[in-house]
């Protein structure tokens, strides 16, 4: 049968009871009084160190919350939300939906300690909020007091489903006016804070509580005292005493109260340890006999010395390893043991693994930032170079038009104007959204030029231009498809273009625009390939310059529409036979129209 290894704590208890009982009785009252003073001082010192450590752990935790929520304060969606007029209900609820469905889930992903998030706008006479929990109305009074703190812990309470949470808020600063435009409310599960508190042991009935900056209990083992004011005795002691501790009560009910206030969060951690728990063992030892004083002293000295030597040797080894870490060596590891020091060594090893992982993550992040900056500079150069030729051609066409007007050659002048309009329209950003009516007007410039080339070309248009103004699309979506019909439907087969038709039908989601030609069409397998690619394309394929099966015309138009508007918008080939082809383009209504 395997014997369970005794812990250091158990060994110390056994040594304490086995070797110090009789010596305490011999030393008498003098030893008892001095021991009381020493134990009280040690208890105070240990409690002070414990409170500082706990405050440090809380500071680290809340600092992590600050870092995790900092991107939300400057996020474009949040900035738009705190600036928007609540009376603009469409934009207000549209932003609310994006924050609720996209921004907040990404923030709380893999964070079980964040119970909920709320964004509060101060725009207008009332608060407007996007509540991810039910904590908003409870703390509106605190917001009205206009705290200047950027991170403030409001208190602890229970949600509607009984979950205990700590509520904190952060100010949202308008990035244009630099004034407070709203608040970010963060509900934190109480588990993380109670885990930090429960790591400490303060006797059998010792208590640890947390006091907020307004002298109210943020946390107390007795939940009935949450949000209650501190006793006046405690408040006066906190204000006028120099040492960070004091005693409370008298006689058997006397307790040692130690407190520590965090400069980072303003929280005060208070520990209360009954003095009688520190005296019980002393009273017990004082009543033992004197029979084995010398023998116990010798045995205690030898045993404690050997046991302490084994502990100090391990601790010294750990200290030496820490010094190596300070010198930059993160490859070392502490040996494992089956006691508390072994747990400390395992924690040390885990810390080094986390440090190595964080250093690697930071290095990778810096490389990505540099790579992104290089790509941005290259994109700007390419954009500038791409604008040179269109501007040059546009200006040259203006000169040609002037000569045509002087020479009174109206067809050349008219074609130059059409071509100039095409270049002017193309110079603008292809990702800008325009109305379908404007895009169709641009397409007619191309049609007019083709009619000058092919006098027999018939243009059959059945469009409601008033309704087309309500349709949302991108620049250069219709003209490339019409041009594709001329090139691949007619010119590839050496057929003189004779017909181009446009039809539009409307439904709840937008418009179906049909582009019809009477060319030779495409093979059935190619039609299936196009339609399958249009329906199954991934986001990675959308970002590619060309289709996976070659060609960029229809693929470019479809991918831009799908990236901008999502499904079901984009292209599909309705029919393509030897007598002609019909291509369908689906586009949405403008936002104000859909509202």
The string of pLDDT tens digits covering residues 268-323 is: 888 887 777 666 665 566 556 555 656 666 676 667 667 666 777 777 777 888 88
Higher pLDDT, 407 or 574: 574
Lowest mean pLDDT among 87-96, 242-251, 404-413: 242-251
Top mean-pLDDT range of 37-41, 86-90, 254-258, 555-559: 555-559
Cβ distance 534 to 572 under 8 Å?
Answer: yes
Q: Is the pLDDT of residue 588 over 90?
A: yes
Lowest mean pLDDT among 42-51, 127-136, 144-153, 340-349: 127-136
**Chain centroid offset of residue 7 CA:** 42
For residue 572, name the pLDDT band (cuts at 50, 70, 90): very high
Q: What pLDDT sits at residue 388?
A: 47
> Exposure string (b/e) for 558-585, b if CB count within 10 Å is 16 or more?
bbbbbbbbeeebbbbbeebeeebbbbbb
Q: Is the pLDDT of residue 446 over 60?
A: yes
Residue range 366-371: average pLDDT? 79
Q: Is the pLDDT of residue 505 over 80?
A: yes
For residue 581, name the pLDDT band (cuts at 50, 70, 90): very high
- Top-level class of domain 429-594: alpha beta
Cβ distance 436 to 513 under 8 Å?
Answer: yes
Residue range 397-424: average pLDDT? 77
Q: How far apart are CA 115 and CA 187, in angstroms?
A: 5
DSSP one-letter string for 425-491: HHHS-TT-EEEHHHHHHHHHHHHHHHHHH-TT-EEEEE--HHHHTTBEEESSSSHHHHHHIIIIIIG
Q: Is the pLDDT of residue 68 over 90?
A: no
Top mean-pLDDT range of 16-20, 141-145, 166-170: 166-170
Cβ distance 504 to 464 under 8 Å?
Answer: yes
Residue range 368-373: average pLDDT? 74
Q: What percent of the chain has pLDDT over 90?
A: 10
Q: How far apart are CA 121 and CA 148, in angstroms?
A: 16
For residue 172, name the pLDDT band (cuts at 50, 70, 90): confident
Q: What pLDDT sits at residue 577?
A: 92
For residue 204, the SS3 value is coil
Q: Is the pLDDT of residue 8 over 70?
A: no
Lowest mean pLDDT among 119-123, 246-250, 263-267, 465-469: 246-250
Q: How far apart are CA 438 and CA 324, in angstroms?
A: 70
Q: What pLDDT sits at residue 384?
A: 46
Whose tokens are 């494992």? That residue is 336
Summarize pLDDT for 218-237 with one digit per residue, the tens.
788 787 887 788 887 777 77
Higher pLDDT, 57 or 308: 57
What does the DSSP 8-state code read for residue 174? Answer: P
Computed over every residue of the chain, the mean pLDDT equals 77
Lowest mean pLDDT among 194-203, 315-324, 454-463: 194-203
pTM for this prediction: 0.41
Q: Is the pLDDT of residue 517 over 80?
A: yes
Encoding tokens for residue 429?
A: 């950003």
For residue 138, the SS3 value is helix
Cα–Cα distances in Å, from 198 out to 54, 216, 221, 347, 409? Answer: 10, 21, 10, 18, 93
For residue 9, name the pLDDT band (cuts at 50, 70, 90): low
What's phi and psi for 145, nearest 5 deg? -80, -5
What contacts 199, CB < 8 A, 6 or more positions away? 54
Whose tokens are 């706008």? That residue is 121
Residue range 3-17: average pLDDT? 59
Q: How far apart are CA 102 and CA 96, in angstroms?
A: 10
Which of 418, 426, 420, 422 has the alpha carbon at shortest distance from 449?
Answer: 418
Summarize pLDDT for 466-504 with one digit per residue, the tens.
899 989 898 889 999 999 999 989 988 889 999 999 999
């Amino acid at each position: 049968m395997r014997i369970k290894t005794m812990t250091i704590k158990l060994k110390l208890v056994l040594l304490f009871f086995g070797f110090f009982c009789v010596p305490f009785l011999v030393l008498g009252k003098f030893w008892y009084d001095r021991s009381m003073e020493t134990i009280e001082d040690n208890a105070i010192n240990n409690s002070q160190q414990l409170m500082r450590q706990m405050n440090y752990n809380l500071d680290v935790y809340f600092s992590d919350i600050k870092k995790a929520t900092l991107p939300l304060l400057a996020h474009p969606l949040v900035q738009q939300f705190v600036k928007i007029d609540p009376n603009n209900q469409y934009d207000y609820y549209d932003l609310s939906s994006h924050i609720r469905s996209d921004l907040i889930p990404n923030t709380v992903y893999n964070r079980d300690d964040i119970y909920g998030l709320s964004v509060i706008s101060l725009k207008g006479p009332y608060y407007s909020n996007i509540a991810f929990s039910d904590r908003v109305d409870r703390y509106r009074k605190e917001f009205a007091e206009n705290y200047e703190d950027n991170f403030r812990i409001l208190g602890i309470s229970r949600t509607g489903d009984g979950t205990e949470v700590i509520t904190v808020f952060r100010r949202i600063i308008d990035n244009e006016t630099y004034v407070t435009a709203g608040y970010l409310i963060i509900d934190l599960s109480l588990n993380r804070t109670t885990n930090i508190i429960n790591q400490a042991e303060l006797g059998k009935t010792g208590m640890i509580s947390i006091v907020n900056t307004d002298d109210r209990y943020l946390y107390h083992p007795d939940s009935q005292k949450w949000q209650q004011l501190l006793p006046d005795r405690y408040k006066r002691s906190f204000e006028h005493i120099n040492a960070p501790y004091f005693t409370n009560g008298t006689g058997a009910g006397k307790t040692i109260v130690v407190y520590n206030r965090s400069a980072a969060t303003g929280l005060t951690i208070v520990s209360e340890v009954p003095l009688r728990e520190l005296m019980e063992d002393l009273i017990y030892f004082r009543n033992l006999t004197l029979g084995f004083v010398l023998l116990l002293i010798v045995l205690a000295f030898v045993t404690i010395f050997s046991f302490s030597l084994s502990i100090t040797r391990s601790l010294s080894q750990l200290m030496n390893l820490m010094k190596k870490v300070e010198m930059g060596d993160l490859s070392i590891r502490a040996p494992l043991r089956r006691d508390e020091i072994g747990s400390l060594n395992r924690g040390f090893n885990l810390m080094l693994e986390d440090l190595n992982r964080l250093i690697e993550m930071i290095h990778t992040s810096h490389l990505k930032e540099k790579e992104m900056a290089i790509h941005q500079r290259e994109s700007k150069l390419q954009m500038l170079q791409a604008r040179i030729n269109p501007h040059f051609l546009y200006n040259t066409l203006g000169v040609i038009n002037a000569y045509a007007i002087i020479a009174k050659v109206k067809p050349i002048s008219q074609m130059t104007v059409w071509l100039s309009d095409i270049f002017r329209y193309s110079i603008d950003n292809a990702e800008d959204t325009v109305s379908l009516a404007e895009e169709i007007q641009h397409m007619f410039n191309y049609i007019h030029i083709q009619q000058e080339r092919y006098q027999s070309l018939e243009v059959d248009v059945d469009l409601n231009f008033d309704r087309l103004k309500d349709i949302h699309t991108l620049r250069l979506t219709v003209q490339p498809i019409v041009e594709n019909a001329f090139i691949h439907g007619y010119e590839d087969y050496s057929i003189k273009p004779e017909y181009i038709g446009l039809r539009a039908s409307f439904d709840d989601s937008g418009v179906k625009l049909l582009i019809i030609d009477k060319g030779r069409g495409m093979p059935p397998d190619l039609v299936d390939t196009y339609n399958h690619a249009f329906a199954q394309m991934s986001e990675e394929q959308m970002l590619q310059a060309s289709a996976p099966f070659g060609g960029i015309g229809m693929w470019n138009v479809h991918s831009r529409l799908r990236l901008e508007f999502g499904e079901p918008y984009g292209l599909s080939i309705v029919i393509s036979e030897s007598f002609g082809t019909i291509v369908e383009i689906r586009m949405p209504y403008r936002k104000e129209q859909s509202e």
